């Protein structure tokens, strides 16, 4: 599975949009981009995933560049409860384990 | 509906004792994964079950670790003769094979004294 690169940490003001970038320049055509987050002392929580089209659900939006070498997770109105470590993962679908890198520690501030 | 559940939530044991950790996956999910996460570290894959296929045990760190999945549903991870380095949070995840979006349980925090 392709390797990803994310900033170590980011701050965001409460109520503002949080934009979390991820580089995955070696992504293959059959690999998906997944985002998970982990709030302190809890299990990882699935957020969203996509292949090449932009995706939106009740939690977030995922913007994937046309060349698929990078993506951005957008939390439209960040709250204090969104403070967590966010992981961008690239993997083939079906039957593959997840490999978490360092992730981005997002701190939402009042 | 109900998510992935794990029990116990916390387990403290003495070095050398055996422990069993339980995972109840989301109903209908055919795939089940076990991971562990040491303090401040990423996920370490342990074992993967898919339907009736032979499990992928490639991540088990030693022969002290084993896992079963009965009836294609509940899974038990067993650690024999526990060591202090086994202390970690053990996480279970399940997925529908076709979408393979893995949903995690809350984990079991194992402390070996």
Check CB contact of B63 with chain A, cutoff 8 Å: no
Among B61, B65, B31, smallest CA distance to B48 is for B31
Contacts of A6 (CB under 8 A, 6+ apart): A20, A21, A22, A23, A86, A87, A88, A101, A102, A103, A104
| Least Cα separation, residue B40 to chain A (angstroms) | 10
pLDDT digits (tens, 9 = 90+) for B32-65: 999 999 887 888 999 999 888 889 999 999 999 9
Which residue, among B7, B96, B101, B111, would best test binding to A if mutated, counting the most A CBs under 10 Å from its CB?
A: B101
| Least Cα separation, residue A33 to chain B (angstroms) | 11
Percentage of residues of chain B with pLDDT beyond 90 = 77
Q: Which among A49, A97, A101 has CB closest to B101?
A: A49
Judging by DSSP bridges, how do beta strands B108-112 and B10-13 pair with one another? parallel
Contact A43 B106 (CB under 8 A): yes
| Least Cα separation, residue B82 to chain A (angstroms) | 22
| Least Cα separation, residue B3 to chain A (angstroms) | 11
Torsion of CA A46, B29, B31, B87, to 10 degrees: 60
DSSP symbol at B73: S
Contact A44 B45 (CB under 8 A): no
Contact A46 B48 (CB under 8 A): no
Q: What is the pLDDT tens value at each position of chain A, 110 positions in all?
A: 668 999 999 999 999 999 999 999 999 888 999 999 999 888 999 999 999 999 999 999 999 999 999 999 999 999 999 999 999 999 887 667 888 888 999 999 99
Q: Cβ contacts (< 8 Å) between A44 and chain B: which residues?
A: 43, 91, 93, 104
């Amino acid at each position: 599975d392709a390797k990803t690169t994310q900033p170590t940490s980011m701050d965001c003001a409460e109520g503002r949009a949080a934009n979390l970038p991820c580089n995955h320049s070696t992504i293959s055509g059959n690999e998906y981009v997944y985002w998970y987050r982990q709030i302190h002392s809890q299990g990882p929580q699935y957020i969203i995933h996509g292949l090449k089209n932009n995706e939106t659900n009740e939690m977030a939006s995922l913007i994937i560049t046309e060349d698929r070498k990078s993506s951005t997770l957008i939390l439209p109105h960040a709250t204090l409860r969104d403070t967590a470590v966010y992981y961008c993962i690239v993997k083939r679908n079906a039957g593959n384990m997840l490999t978490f890198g360092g992730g981005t520690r997002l701190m939402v501030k009042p | 509906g109900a998510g992935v559940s794990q029990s116990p939530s916390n387990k403290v044991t003495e070095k050398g004792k055996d422990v069993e950790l339980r995972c109840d996956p989301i109903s209908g999910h055919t795939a089940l994964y076990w991971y562990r996460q040491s303090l401040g570290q990423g996920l370490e894959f342990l074992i993967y079950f898919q339907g009736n296929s032979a499990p992928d045990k490639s991540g088990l760190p030693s022969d002290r670790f084993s896992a079963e999945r009965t009836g294609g549903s509940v899974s038990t991870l067993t650690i024999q003769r526990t060591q202090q380095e086994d202390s970690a949070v053990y996480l279970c995840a399940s997925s529908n094979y076709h979408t393979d979006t893995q949903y995690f349980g809350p984990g079991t925090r194992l402390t070996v004294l």
